[in-house]
Structure 1
């Protein structure tokens, strides 16, 4: 009777999990092997045609390259900045509460609002960045309309928003460390850098793994900022995988091809996350 009662308590959560997570995932895999239904024409089995089309799609590979550059910049920079901010606000400094609030504020702002704020910064002629560069005597520049700078501008916005979120985890981990460790290091004459490198950093490795998993996922699910700032332009210079997926599925209504891209994207992210959790997890715990 107790076992039945336990399963009944779990039933609502299991139904929601199956209906909104497991079944959509299975349905997406199935749809990737069919053509996209259009009007009165029903979906038909096409096998691996959607995956072949993906391999031959130059926009898809452009999005892959852009996303690798984007993730390669946002992941280490946002984690490094978050750690530096956490170490700073963990010290006894004036205005520590205000600094913590200021660093965390970008995290609680809606992503669309953040993108619109930075859109004003990057606006040609009268944007805040243009105002600053004009004071230095530099010529005006269309930051979001230039293929050389569009992706970098989106990367800066992502780092600015994510660093404060990751800082909270590092700050919480720092506050759980035993204060006697710092006292012992001070008695031994260890410098702050030596104490961080030999004591704090090894003890923060489990938190770093958790943050790293989230940073990798965030690096490949960016769509809001791209939609507001550049729409993937100019000439696909800032298109990312999830935005390309959005365009294929909701702009061109090729849901079958979009399903194939989703399967590949989820498969890669799942593989990376499993590697981080099951392989790196054995190396991060300080003994």
Structure 2
């Protein structure tokens, strides 16, 4: 039995261990979130005048902002295009490089190389691919007699072009998590399935994929976060154009805060983004986690 003083000493020791992480969370997460929420209830000051409290007026303006709804739709389509595709490609690449194939170390490196490139560098590379006159893709199309496409200047194609670049950048990163999960599986499972005469397809769907669900959930959350925090390569490739065809939520926040100097409206959009992410996180922890098998 511990004495009361010893018990309190252990509690104090635990608090000291948690204190550095708590300070970081409060300083860089909770306080900025609270400050953003407060700012969304005001309109900016002009010529040194104090800012004015307007309550939920900014949120009412947001609901009637057609540009915001276009940007939200763009972001939904961007997430719909990048998340499933990146996860499927990552899983396929992980299954491939986990198999016994010649030179699989080089294949792994080739798949992972886009991940280590800075986003600005990757965007500049793809800017060359997409260039209307001298771009690689239009040069290849001209070989087979197809006229060039304005990949980043056509509103009907620009968002898809950004999605393709994002998938290329993210799939190799997610592959690493799937590869680690595959290599941690007990080899006895495959040996038992071979003795039973189970096909590869059946073994994948009935054994491998269910055991990869924790990894899939982790990758899914990261892919969702990546789909919301897109700024840097939009700044290089399209700057949200043409006609807001590639403008996404966080870039719209950046525009309002630093181009239009309306930081309270930017704070309002940020609060809405945080609420959506909180809703998705709640869904993940209350519904998806219960349906996931953990080893």
Superposition TM-score, scaled by structure 2 size? 0.94
Residue 75 of structure 2 corresponds to 67
For residues 132-143 of structure 1, the aligned pairs below 5 Å read 132-143=140-151
1:58 aligns with 2:74: no
Distance 1:275 1:152 in 2: 28
Specify which of 174, 199, 202 is matched with residue 194 of structure 1: 202
Residue 233 of structure 2 corresponds to 225
Distance 1:175 1:13 in 2: 31
In structure 1, the residue corresponding to 2:42 is in which secondary structure? coil
Distance 1:167 1:63 in 2: 29
Q: Aligned-residue CA RMSD in angstroms?
A: 1.4
Q: Report the Cα offset of residue 224 of structure 1.
A: 1.3
Q: Report the Cα offset of residue 286 of structure 1.
A: 6.0
Residue 51 of structure 2 corresponds to 43
Distance 1:284 1:185 in 2: 22
Distance 1:195 1:26 in 2: 49
Unpaired stretches in structure 2, ≥5 consecutive residues: 1-8
In structure 1, the residue corresponding to 2:19 is in which secondary structure? helix
Q: Report the Cα offset of residue 188 of structure 1.
A: 1.8
Q: Deviations over 1:32-83 (max 9, x none)?
A: 0011123312211011111111111111000011111110111100000000
Residue 123 of structure 2 corresponds to 115
Moved more, 26-35 or 270-279: 270-279
Distance 1:276 1:15 in 2: 26
1:254 aligns with 2:270: no
Distance 1:137 1:129 in 2: 13
Distance 1:68 1:18 in 2: 30
Residue 215 of structure 1 corresponds to 223
Distance 1:196 1:216 in 2: 25
Moved more, 182-191 or 154-163: 182-191
Distance 2:38 2:135 in 1: 47
Specify which of 198, 211, 214 is matched with residue 203 of structure 1: 211
Q: Report the Cα offset of residue 278 of structure 1.
A: 2.5
1:202 touches 1:286 (CA, 8 Å); kept in 2?
no
Q: Report the Cα offset of residue 6 of structure 1.
A: 4.1
Q: Deviations over 1:179-206 (max 9, x none)?
A: 1111121222222111111110111111
Q: Report the Cα offset of residue 11 of structure 1.
A: 3.2
Q: Deviations over 1:143-201 (max 9, x none)?
A: 10001110000000111111111111110110111111111212222221111111101
Residue 236 of structure 1 corresponds to 244
1:232 touches 1:240 (CA, 8 Å); kept in 2?
yes
1:266 aligns with 2:274: yes
Residue 4 of structure 2 corresponds to none
Distance 1:184 1:5, change over 3 A: closer
1:154 aligns with 2:162: yes
Residue 106 of structure 2 corresponds to 98
Q: Report the Cα offset of residue 128 of structure 1.
A: 0.8
Superposition TM-score, scaled by structure 1 size? 0.96
Q: Report the Cα offset of residue 8 of structure 1.
A: 3.7
Distance 1:34 1:284 in 2: 43
